[in-house]
């Protein structure tokens, strides 16, 4: 498995995590819990952005693996 | 009028009157009332029985006695709400039996409680060792309540210095196969959400005995058919595992990559995620 496909896998699982977090942040009745979920949501958003940027560089460096 | 008709009518009217009276007289538990209230309840019960069995011939006299015994306690209750001295006078005050680990023998004598009785009552509160007791008090209902020494108290999350996610009361939304709308709307959810949840669990509504939603919105159901094995909601544990896996992945990439900028980005993000995981842990794992 190439590095870029590994990173893609992590990215996918992180996006899955993000959607679950969003689900709980809307569903939680407790304000404190909601806040914690929201904060986690923001962190995952940042990381997803970083990973996507990194993927772009990787694909630029190894264009033969693009799309895998 | 025939005798049996009279007794039938008296009994019927007394039956509903007694029902109404006990509703008015409040929600006090019979095991937790003061001796005075025990007498009040007994007199009301006996009076109603006597009237209904036609032993007290005159209905008017019977009802007057019943009214006094049923309504006067109510009046006293309302007055004792207003005045503390009256409250103490009616209900009595609690007596301190053990203070700072020492038995107050004077007070014990005052409430006519022997050492054996004190020990028995402590044992019924699961306290076998007198040395564990910091404070004990005899309530006016005759019940003994105990405060243990702080090192003998059950451990709480605070003692362990662990943060626990707050959990409020769950709402029962399905009972006997019927959806209860009021608790559902208290949670801010509706029938179509519930139907979707049931559909995803592969269940039909009429097979569910009890369904509860906890404060984070997870549905737990108990089925009539106990042979069916149900997956319990494990979404939060999965979420936690996913977060940890992502964090481990990021750390791995940070080690693998040669690019210093990417290395910094990966380890920075791994750190951030680690902190978030620690913050979320009390909410996800409990």
Owning domain of residue A42? 3-62
For B80-112, the pLDDT digits (tens) are 889 888 888 888 888 999 999 999 999 999 999
- Strands in B208-213's sheet, in edge-to-edge order, are B178-179, B171-175, B208-213, B219-223
- CB contact, 8 Å: A2 with chain B? no
Contact between A33 and B273 using a beta-carbon 8 Å cutoff: no
The rounded distance, in Å, linking the Cα atoms of B277 and A14 is 13
| Cα B208 to the center of its chain, rounded Å | 24
- DSSP character at residue B99: E
Domain ranges in chain B are: 3-89, 95-148, 171-231, 236-284
The rounded distance, in Å, linking the Cα atoms of B20 and B82 is 25
Q: How many domains does chain A have?
A: 1
Residue A56 lies in a domain: yes
Residue A68 lies in a domain: no
Residue A55 lies in a domain: yes
Topology classification of domain B95-148: CRO Repressor (3.30.240)
CB pairs under 8 A between A and B: 82
Map residue B89 onto helix, strand or coil: helix
- DSSP character at residue B232: P
The rounded distance, in Å, linking the Cα atoms of B106 and B145 is 18
pLDDT in tens, chain B (286 residues): 688 888 898 899 989 988 888 888 777 777 778 888 889 889 999 999 998 888 888 888 988 998 999 889 889 888 988 988 888 888 888 899 999 999 999 999 999 999 999 999 999 999 999 999 999 999 888 889 999 998 888 888 888 888 777 777 888 999 998 899 998 888 888 899 889 888 988 888 888 899 998 877 788 888 888 887 777 767 888 889 999 999 999 999 999 888 888 889 999 999 999 999 988 888 887 6
Residue A18 lies in a domain: yes
For A2-36, the pLDDT digits (tens) are 788 888 999 999 999 999 999 888 888 788 888 88
Residue A67 lies in a domain: no
User: Between B235-256 and B260-284, two packed helices, what is the crossing angle to 10 degrees?
Assistant: 160
Q: What Rg, from alpha-carbon coordinates, does chain A have?
A: 15
Q: Which CATH architecture has domain B171-231?
A: 2-Layer Sandwich (3.30)
For A35-64, the pLDDT digits (tens) are 889 999 999 999 999 999 988 888 888 777
* A contacts of B216 (beta carbons < 8 Å): 24, 27-30, 33
Residue B96 belongs to what H/E stretch?
strand B95-99
């Amino acid at each position: 498995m190439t590095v870029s496909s590994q990173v893609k896998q992590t990215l996918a699982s992180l996006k899955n995590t993000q959607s679950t977090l969003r689900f709980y942040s809307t569903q939680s009745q407790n304000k404190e819990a909601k806040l914690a979920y929201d904060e986690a949501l923001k962190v995952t958003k940042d990381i997803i952005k970083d990973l996507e940027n990194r993927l772009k560089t990787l694909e630029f460096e190894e264009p033969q693996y693009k799309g895998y | 009028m025939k005798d049996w008709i009279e007794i039938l009518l008296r009994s019927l009217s007394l039956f509903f009157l007694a029902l109404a009276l006990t509703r008015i007289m409040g929600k006090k538990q019979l095991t937790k009332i003061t001796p005075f209230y025990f007498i009040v309840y007994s007199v009301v019960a006996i009076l109603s029985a006597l009237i209904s069995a036609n032993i007290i011939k005159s209905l008017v006299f019977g009802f007057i006695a019943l009214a006094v015994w049923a309504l006067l306690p109510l009046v006293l209750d309302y007055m004792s709400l207003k005045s503390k001295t009256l409250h103490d006078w009616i209900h009595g005050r609690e007596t301190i039996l053990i203070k700072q680990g020492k038995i107050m023998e004077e007070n014990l004598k005052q409430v006519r409680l022997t050492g054996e009785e004190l020990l028995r009552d402590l044992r019924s509160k699961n306290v076998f060792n007198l040395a564990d007791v910091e404070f004990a008090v005899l309530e006016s209902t005759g019940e003994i309540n105990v405060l243990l020494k702080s090192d003998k108290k059950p451990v709480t999350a605070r003692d362990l210095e662990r943060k626990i996610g707050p959990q409020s009361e769950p709402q029962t939304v399905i009972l006997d196969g019927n959806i209860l709308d009021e608790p559902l709307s208290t949670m801010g959810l509706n029938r179509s959400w519930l139907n979707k949840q049931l559909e995803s669990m592969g269940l039909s509504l009429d097979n569910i005995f009890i369904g509860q939603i906890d404060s984070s919105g997870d549905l737990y159901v108990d089925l009539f058919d106990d042979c069916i094995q149900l997956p319990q909601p494990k979404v939060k544990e999965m979420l936690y595992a996913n977060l940890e896996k992502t964090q481990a992945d990021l750390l791995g990439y940070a080690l693998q990559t040669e690019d210093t900028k990417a290395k910094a980005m990966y380890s920075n993000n791994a750190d951030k995620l680690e902190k978030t995981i620690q913050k979320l842990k009390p909410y996800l794992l409990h």
